[in-house]
Amino acid sequence: MICDSTSVRTDIARLGSLDVKIGLYGRWTTKRMNQHSQSKSCVAVLLIAHGSRRPEANHDLVQLAELLIARRDYEIVEVSYLELTTPTILDGGRACAARGASKVLMLPYFLSAGVHVVTDLKEFQKQLAEEFPQIEFILCPHLGLHPLMADIVVARLQEGSPVSAT
């Protein structure tokens, strides 16, 4: 299977029982690949958030995926959630595999290294690696205290404080 982000209908015809999941997530990966993108190595990004019962909160991750897709840095971008909503992490990893990923970068969209980041996500990585031994699943560092985080915090603080009319 090649790295492919062609139409959802093609994925549905090819994947059988996985078609519903691919069909639901395909809206985030609408870019058609040219012949050069059908290379031997295809890197996918699996964004992982906690998940919420509030759909608007979950939509933040979808918007981030859309921003990454627009940048065209990665062939495949999928979203997933640890709990409370779908797609699950296993669903997202399977979607990457079904689309031809040879490597999946699992990015925890978490600010702190709590139990989920330190323990739970490693278990999902292990499960996916066992299910798809031909694919490399790499658990990336969580967002945490990246140096750019201070810039983001300052920007948000500036957005929240009223501008003085002097």
Distance in angstroms (rounded) separating the CA atoms of residues 69 and 77: 7
For the record, the structure tokens of 51 come out as: 């998940």
Distance in angstroms (rounded) separating the CA atoms of residues 30 and 8: 8
Known catalytic residues are 50
> Among 132, 147, 155, which residue's Cα sits nearest to residue 18?
132
Q: Count Cβ atoms within 10 A of the Cβ of residue 26 and give its class: 0-12 exposed, 13-18 middle, 19 or more buried.
A: buried
Beta-strand (E) ranges in 14-159?
43-49, 76-81, 103-108, 136-139
Amino acid at 58: N
- Spell out a b/e string for 37-51, using b for 16 or more CB atoms within 10 Å of the CB, else e: eeeeebbbbbbbbbb
